Structure 1
Amino acid sequence: MGPPRPERAAVVRVVVSPLPRSAGRAGRAPLHGHGAARLPRVPGLALGPALAGQGLGAGPGVRAVPRGRARRLAPPAFGGGGKGNVGGNVLIVFVKEPRPGIVKTRLLPALDPGAAAELYRALAEEEIRQTAPRLGEYTRLFFHAPPSSPQAMSAWLPGETFVVQQGADLGARMSAAFEEVFRRGARRAAIIGTDVPWLTRGRVAEAFGALDEHDAVLGPTTDGGYYLLALDRPRPEVFRGIAWSTPSVLASTEERASALGLRVRMLGELPDIDTIEDLRAHWPRVRPLLEGRAVVDAVARALER
């Protein structure tokens, strides 16, 4: 009869779903990553280094496991109770549900609330797409503001991890977000909003790299604010005494950091889209991002007035 045959190793099939047409429009990368396969969730399966994290939708609950140490992994946590640990570099994304009346209100009444919400969705999706990390670069956590709900956010951005913003004003909310990700194990952290669709993962990686020799990194916007802030550890003092949503935010933050003795690196300046004047100034760059969306005509009409 001979010796018994050795058991065959289990085979894991990776299914690559075709991208929606909107995701590939105009050659842009898919919303959740740069062309990476999205792996199916298999309860109890530990993925090795060659596969773990290949799809951003896998989330922080799927991690590389050293050979010989496979173990059961907990599913990723979502919503306000997202308690999963993170490590390495973490990108905090401040985001709102694209609901009429709560986003892009500075564009009213030039745009009606529905058109403003659709514009916000388009700009946010482009920035989310452009900052999608590749394997090992950084982890993204999405901090959303009420009245957005975790269910509504996950319906819009499936597979991502969401945390509810906490704090009385923008500075308090940003400070709390940094505290939270460092509590979860982040080595470095950066925060961005969703008003700068030309921000790229390369610029985010540059910010994290700059923290090798600096304590903080700022990415200035043309209106006196900033599109990115990166920190080497929690620094709640940086957010105190700032008049938020004013043209002095960047200068005040620089002064605050200098008073604290922090080494600050400045990135290149980028424009953001907050007002109808911003749209008019950058319409040639914004219009291609709205291709195939009804809002493109509404914005074009508003700019003609």
Structure 2
Amino acid sequence: MQHLIVFIRNPRLGKVKTRLAADIGDVRALEVYQRLLSITHGAVVGMDVPCRKSVWYSDCIPKEPDLWSASGFEQCLQTEGDLGARMQHAMEQAFRENGGPVVLIGSDCPEVSPRILQEAFRHLQDTDCVLGPAADGGYYLIGCRTSFPFVFQDMPWSRPELFETTCRVLKARGCRVHTLEVLTDIDKVSDLKAFGW
């Protein structure tokens, strides 16, 4: 069965969008992140794709209901390690439980939409991997038909060469890769201004 994973940080003051917070303060950074969470949630619940949906929290699973639990998302806790180790763990668990394909998204992209998510799942019917490149050189989405643990190992996380490196590694292993449209994450004050936030 198809599965969509959403990676989020627990929305806590001083713990989210820390690079942005250095310029706009912790309170404003938390407001920005909560807005991004709402956009991401809306994109996922708005897509017309039958699949399991899970949200993976960075620190703890909230005891109180939140917008994810209220929408029927499975609630999971990210494992220890760097971003690659955490993503690999979540993807492999999804493949063990459901088969595939599996799509994983973050929660930093205000341009993510139901259409983008539907397109990712559609392309996974006839390709091995789908990547959604971010304008900063990373990616906002990765989807795989089957488990490719190597794609999360020894990668330049949070660096502008991440997307290109990931594509190169996949293609070197003979994987067919489909690239979605480039979208912009919000990481800097200039990103906020570009979106009129």
TM-score, normalisation: structure 2: 0.92
1:134 to partner: Cα distance: 5.2
Give the 4+ runs in structure 1 shifted more than 3 A. Answer: 133-136, 154-158
Aligned positions, number: 195
* Counterpart residue type for residue 272 of structure 1: D
Which is greater in Rg? 1
Match of residue 268 from structure 1:
181
Q: Distance between the aligned counterparts of 1:228 and 1:170, measured in 2?
A: 13
* Counterpart residue type for residue 13 of structure 2: P
Q: Distance between the aligned counterparts of 1:134 and 1:239, measured in 2?
A: 26
1:97 to partner: Cα distance: 1.5
Match of residue 107 from structure 2:
194
Q: Secondary structure at the match of 1:102?
A: coil
The percentage of counterpart residues that share the same residue type is: 34
Q: How does 1:234-245 map to 2 (within 5 A)?
A: 234-245=147-158
Q: How does 1:131-280 map to 2 (within 5 A)?
A: 131-133=44-46, 137-146=50-59, 148-152=60-64, 154-159=65-70, 160-280=73-193
Match of residue 83 from structure 1:
none
Pick closer, same or farther for the CA change 1:242–1:135 going to 2, 3 Å.
closer
Q: Does 1:102 align with 2:15?
A: yes
- Where structure 1 has 5 or more consecutive residues not aligned to the other structure, the ranges are 1-87, 288-305
TM-score, normalisation: structure 1: 0.61
- Where structure 2 has 5 or more consecutive residues not aligned to the other structure, the ranges are none
Higher strand share: 2
Q: Secondary structure at the match of 1:150?
A: coil
Q: How does 1:284-303 map to 2 (within 5 A)?
A: 287=197
Match of residue 90 from structure 1:
3
Q: CA RMSD in A?
A: 1.6
Q: Secondary structure at the match of 1:261?
A: coil
Q: Distance between the aligned counterparts of 1:111 and 1:193, measured in 2?
A: 22
1:158 to partner: Cα distance: 3.2
- Whether the aligned pair in 2 keeps the contact of 1:90 and 1:138 (CA below 8 Å) is yes
